[in-house]
Structure 1
């Protein structure tokens, strides 16, 4: 696994990350991993054909 260092992170961003992590019941590092993974690998998008077939049925 790779290691990433983030420099010059504003204090208010770090504080918001800690609060968000606590809200989700995990530590700040786990929260950052989750945010990064979601950013680069978002949940699968719905296909238009799937939406249309549900609306027509």
Structure 2
């Protein structure tokens, strides 16, 4: 089974790390060519994994 491509939020996270490290890149402003659209964010929200609930130990 092939690995899934990293998602939208993973790509944003990695780019922010590169910018912080001094890559000289800039985030694209909303509406700019190549920037993620609102449709891309709603699609990413549908496929996002829910955070796992913490298990409590019963005594």
Provide the TM-score with structure 2 as the length reference.
0.31
Higher helix share: 1
Name which one, 1 or 2, has greater alpha-carbon Rg: 1
Provide the TM-score with structure 1 as the length reference.
0.32
